[in-house]
Structure 1
Amino acid sequence: MLTIKCNRKLLPAVLLLAAAAAGAKPYCGELTNGFGPFDYREPPPDSLYLVESAHYTEEVAAGVRGNTGTVGGDLDYTLRAFPNHVKALTSMATAAARAKVNQLPGAKYPVECYFERAVRFKPDDGMAWGAYGKYLYGAGQEARAMPLLKKAHGMAPDNPSINYNLGIAYFRAKQYELAVQHARKAYQHDFPFDGLRNMLVGARKWDGKVEPLPANDGEAGGKDDASAAKSAPETTAR
């Protein structure tokens, strides 16, 4: 009899593939929900406020304590209503990593499922793909992470957070020219963390200088990109 050993970190991915092959219901659950689901990028009037004011308070976002129950329960509610809520996805991953668990108490699914649900819900959302890739990379699954980070970059090539995380991945893969290319793009759009710059300068692969963007490029989505960058923790130490 053949015995298959499976790493717990890879279990959700293995089951996702098995369910798809068998034509079964998604392992990570259907997307239908009593409230929503809504696109985080274009929420209906008041819907985002209603969810966040009850289930994604500052303490929930920081993983300190739940507001209506457990942290996992409140994040689960938020992500079932807004599957591509990138900030809540980051909070879910961070809280689980801090607790050293694959599934938070009160959450309906393992952490990776919430990322899978996000891109299944809105496959055109580059930030969701970037968050998924960043999560996998942080979990040590570089081979799975890189295609997702590249896909995210293809959808949002000027986003500073996506460029930063892709630059980190290329640096660690010793593909320094690509790492510098993405670092320049991230810092041209005012990414707030210096980790990637310091890594490249310390390795003598870049002088850290960035040419300012032309006026039109800086105005096109610059504020949104900078805001998104500040809301997304960096992959490595500052």
Structure 2
Amino acid sequence: MKIKAALAAATLLAASGQLAAKPFCGELVNAFGPFDYRTPDAEQLHLVEQAHFTEEVEQGLKGNTGTLGADLDYTLRAFPNHTRALETLAKVALRQKAVQLPGGKYPVECYFERAVRFVPDDGAAHAAYAGYLYRVGQPEKALPMLEKAVELDPENPSINYNLGLAYAKMKKYDPAVKYARKAYELGFPLPGLKNMLTAAGKWSDKTP
């Protein structure tokens, strides 16, 4: 009996270990997809967007085939790194003060986790995740994500700008100036970060 009990306990431990190892935010396998939003098949993307990511869905007004959350869920299970859908998801969740949207299969943050898990080399997906974390008040988690985004996509002006802005808000002015200059060299149009650094006495157009 003792041997049987020990075997049963070992089986339970093994099963619990497998459950613990399974991602909390679900497996990425999907009936349709998953597909990389950066290099989509035009027909596959059209099939998803014409039904589940219409203009009204993208604006966060209402769902098309069901609830808004359900349409975003479908879009993001088919294209986990669909950055426009991620932005809409964040906007709606913040507006509704919701951790999980009605009709969504996962909590909001899970969709961002799934995006970077699916395409760990996608700087835009990391930047979208960082943006969401900043907006929900988790800068300590957001900054490394944004640093990773710049590492992956160093010539992206928006990502450089946002990292510079994050450092400026932390009063870490040397890296803030570094990424601000990079953003403006790449053509970023908004002067907000430059104005912030100028007001702090850290910006000069005469110095490199």
TM superposition score category, shorter chain reference: 0.7 to 0.9
CA contact (8 A) 1:188 1:210 kept: no
Alpha-carbon distance, 1:30 to partner: 0.9
Matches of 1:81 and 1:122, distance apart in 2: 13
Matches of 1:192 and 1:20, distance apart in 2: 50
Letter paired with 2:120: P
Q: Give the counterpart of 2:119 among 103, 119, 122.
A: 122
Alpha-carbon distance, 1:193 to partner: 3.2
Q: Give the counterpart of 1:75 among 64, 72, 76.
A: 72
Partner of 1:154: 151
| Structure 1 residue 203 corresponds to structure 2 residue 204 | no
Partner of 1:165: 162
SS at match of 1:162: helix
Partner of 1:38: 35
Alpha-carbon distance, 1:134 to partner: 1.8
Alpha-carbon distance, 1:203 to partner: 2.5
SS at match of 2:37: coil
Q: Give the counterpart of 2:89 among 83, 87, 92.
A: 92
- CA gap of 1:208–1:56, structure 2 versus 1, over 3 A, is farther
Q: Deviations over 1:33-88 (max 9, x none)?
A: 11100000011231111111111112111111111111111111110000011111
Letter paired with 1:91: T
Matches of 1:129 and 1:40, distance apart in 2: 14
| Structure 1 residue 113 corresponds to structure 2 residue 116 | no
Alpha-carbon distance, 1:208 to partner: 6.3
Alpha-carbon distance, 1:92 to partner: 0.4
Matches of 2:131 and 2:169, distance apart in 1: 14
TM-score, normalised via structure 2 length: 0.85
TM-score, normalised via structure 1 length: 0.75
Aligned residue runs from structure 1 range 208-223, under 5 A: none
Unaligned runs of 5+ in 1: 1-18, 212-238
Matches of 1:107 and 1:198, distance apart in 2: 40
Letter paired with 2:152: M
Structure showing the higher helix proportion among its residues: 2
- CA gap of 1:46–1:175, structure 2 versus 1, over 3 A, is same
- CA gap of 1:209–1:133, structure 2 versus 1, over 3 A, is farther
Matches of 1:120 and 1:165, distance apart in 2: 22
Higher Rg of the two aligned structures: 2
CA contact (8 A) 1:31 1:121 kept: yes
Alpha-carbon distance, 1:22 to partner: 6.2
Partner of 2:13: none
Letter paired with 1:28: C
Matches of 2:105 and 2:205, distance apart in 1: 44
Matches of 1:107 and 1:192, distance apart in 2: 36
Matches of 2:56 and 2:146, distance apart in 1: 29
CA contact (8 A) 1:119 1:128 kept: yes
Matches of 1:197 and 1:137, distance apart in 2: 20
- CA gap of 1:207–1:58, structure 2 versus 1, over 3 A, is farther
CA contact (8 A) 1:38 1:82 kept: yes
Alpha-carbon distance, 1:176 to partner: 1.0
Matches of 1:35 and 1:112, distance apart in 2: 22
Partner of 1:24: 21
Matches of 1:161 and 1:78, distance apart in 2: 24
RMSD over aligned CA atoms reads: 2.2
